[in-house]
């Protein structure tokens, strides 16, 4: 092993997230506005992105008529409140908290508020700021579709192992907001969309189901995805989205998961380590675990970094489900095989799977950091079958918490998918 400690991994990860601050990225990307501005920010990074927008518009003496921010519970909004106070728009700032990953009644309120903010006859420049989590946080079901149905479809697709792109295609065709709904509601008013992406290899239309981006997906495609991933809902009413308009919207991705991996690699390299960035991936957790264990068996004194969003299918497994997430599950899979497959235990390995938003599913953690003795330590402390049982019941958050390998959970105000670090 290269001598990288758990503490160093966590420091590098935190430093990378600070360097990729979404508020700073929005501040740099936004220009002054001749028209009065309405800001609509939706997602896990919404408070930070809105704070950056307010600061830039205030500096350029642009007029801010309204700022609507939709964010999950627990996301810090202090910087946003300070920015609004400095710009003297505190009375024009509205913050709505809503649920993730499944929408709730507050999400519906948020979705309606977003549509109302965009639909104005007053000449206005709309600044839309979208980040991961927006699909659940703001919800405006199409006619004939209930919130309960949207929740059930989302849950079924999440548990099926569908990619976020596939889930969002379906969401677009169940919504008045997604798939360009905000863009259509804006009429002739100019709109600029800045995106902090959480989608591996995705476009701006994939993030948050593209509420302000023209959509080219079809009802037929959405229906096919329902048949594949949520067949019991294949007959639900779907609505079309339209990409046709004489207007050309301004859209820019200001930060992405791939950039997170590159920054982490650069920070490790600055500390004197040999580092390789692996291609981003949406492979299954089982496939990624096998790849990492095989890589660890031949790697020597090198760090591998990857942005990823593993898929995990649980809907077909008739078991009681515990507290887990993609990162804790993957770390447990890697830990279960490392000691067996890394020759004789002579080659020490450490592996980290980290959720950039600070929330790994229902695990109660932000991920986990394990080494090649993990399986032995679990067996000694919790029993010979404890690791396999935790994996089978998706209770890996509980497992890592008991073993001291969990990373503490706290909303980061970011959402750039997951980061995997393999240290040989």
Model confidence at 321, in pLDDT bands (50, 70, 90)?
Answer: low
- pLDDT level of residue 62 (50, 70, 90 thresholds): very high
How many whole angstroms separate alpha carbon 274 and alpha carbon 106?
Answer: 47
Contacts of 371 (CB under 8 A, 6+ apart): 1, 335, 338, 348, 349, 350, 351
Determine the 3-state secondary structure of 417 from DSSP. Answer: coil
How far apart CA 68 and CA 51 sit, in angstroms, is: 11
Cis ω on the peptide bond leading into residue 101 (within 30° of 0)? yes
The number of beta carbons lying within 10 Å of the beta carbon of residue 302 is: 14
Phi, psi (degrees; rounded to nearest 5) at 278? -80, 155
Long-range pairs of 285-289 with CB within 8 A, sequence gap ≥ 24: 285/310, 285/311, 285/312, 285/326, 285/329, 285/330, 285/333, 286/333, 288/330, 288/420, 289/330, 289/333, 289/334, 289/337
CATH of 6-15+258-423, one of 3.55.50.30, 3.30.1300.10, 3.40.1480.10, 3.40.50.261: 3.40.1480.10
Domain 31-255 has CATH 3.40.50.10180: yes
Report the distance separating Cα 136 and Cα 132, nearest Å: 9
Lowest mean pLDDT among 56-65, 91-100, 316-325: 316-325
- Whether residue 1 is predicted with pLDDT greater than 60 in this model: the reply is no
Q: Using CA of residue 268, residue 269, residue 274, residue 278, what is the dihedral sign?
A: positive
What's this model's pTM, rounded to 2 decimal places? 0.94
The H or E element containing residue 255 is strand 250-255
SS3 59: helix
Q: Which helix (H) or strand (E) holds 205?
A: none
Question: Residue 249: pLDDT band by 50, 70, 90 thresholds?
Answer: confident
Closest to 153 in 3D by CA, of 102, 99, 221, 215: 102
User: Would you kindly state where each structural domain of the chain is located, as residue ranges?
Assistant: 6-15+258-423, 31-255
For range 309-319, the mean pLDDT: 72
Q: Hey, what's the torsion of the CAs at 12, 13, 19, 25, to 10 degrees?
A: 170
* pLDDT greater than 90 at residue 20: yes
pLDDT at residue number 246: 63
Is pLDDT at 388 greater than 70 in this prediction?
yes
Residue 222 has a pLDDT of: 97
Give the count of beta carbons closer than 10 Å to the beta carbon of residue 250.
Answer: 12
Asked if residue 245 has pLDDT above 80, the reply is no
Distance, CA of 108 to CA of 228 (rounded, Å): 27
* pLDDT at residue 319 tops 60: no
Confidence of residue 240 (pLDDT cuts 50, 70, 90): very high
* Residue 248 pLDDT level (bands cut at 50, 70, 90): confident
């Amino acid at each position: 092993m290269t001598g990288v400690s758990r503490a160093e991994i966590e420091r590098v990860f935190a430093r990378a997230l600070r360097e990729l601050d979404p508020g700073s990225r929005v501040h740099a990307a936004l220009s002054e506005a001749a028209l009065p501005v309405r800001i609509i920010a939706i997602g896990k990074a919404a408070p930070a992105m809105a704070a950056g927008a307010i600061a830039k518009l205030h500096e350029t003496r642009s007029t801010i008529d309204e700022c609507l921010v939709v964010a999950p519970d627990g996301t810090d909004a202090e910087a946003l409140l300070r920015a609004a106070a400095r710009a003297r728009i505190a009375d024009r700032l509205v913050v709505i908290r809503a649920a993730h990953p499944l929408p709730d009644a507050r999400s519906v309120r948020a979705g309606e508020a977003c549509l109302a903010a965009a639909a104005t006859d007053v000449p206005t420049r709309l600044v839309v700021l979208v980040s991961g989590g927006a699909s659940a946080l703001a919800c405006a079901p199409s006619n004939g579709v209930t919130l309960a149905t949207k929740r059930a479809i989302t849950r079924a697709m999440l548990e099926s192992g569908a990619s976020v792109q596939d889930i969002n295609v379906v969401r677009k065709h169940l919504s008045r907001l997604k798939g360009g709904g905000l863009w259509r509601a804006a009429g002739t008013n100019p709109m600029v969309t800045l995106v902090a992406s959480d989608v591996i290899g995705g476009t701006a239309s994939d993030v948050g189901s593209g509420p302000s981006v023209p959509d080219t997906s079809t009802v037929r495609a959405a229906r096919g995805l329902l048949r594949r991933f949520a067949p019991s809902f294949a007959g639900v009413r779907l609505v079309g989205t339209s990409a046709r308009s004489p207007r050309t919207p301004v859209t820019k991705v200001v930060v992405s998961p791939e950039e997170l991996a590159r920054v982490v690699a650069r920070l490790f390299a600055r500390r004197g380590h040999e580092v390789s960035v692996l291609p981003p991936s949406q492979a299954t957790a089982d496939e990624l675990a096998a790849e990492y264990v095989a890589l660890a068996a031949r790697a020597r004194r090198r760090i591998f970094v990857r942005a990823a969003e593993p898929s995990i299918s649980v809907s077909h497994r008739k078991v009681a489900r515990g507290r887990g997430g993609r990162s804790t599950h993957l770390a447990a899979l890697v830990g279960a095989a490392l000691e067996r497959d890394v020759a004789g235990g002579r080659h020490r390995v450490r592996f980290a799977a980290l959720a950039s938003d600070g929330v790994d599913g229902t695990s109660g953690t932000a991920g986990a950091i394990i080494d090649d003795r993990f399986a032995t330590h679990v067996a000694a402390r919790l029993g010979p079958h404890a690791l396999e049982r935790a994996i089978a019941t998706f209770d890996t958050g509980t497992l890592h918490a008991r073993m001291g390998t969990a990373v503490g959970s706290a909303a980061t105000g970011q959402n750039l998918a997951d980061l995997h670090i393999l240290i040989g």
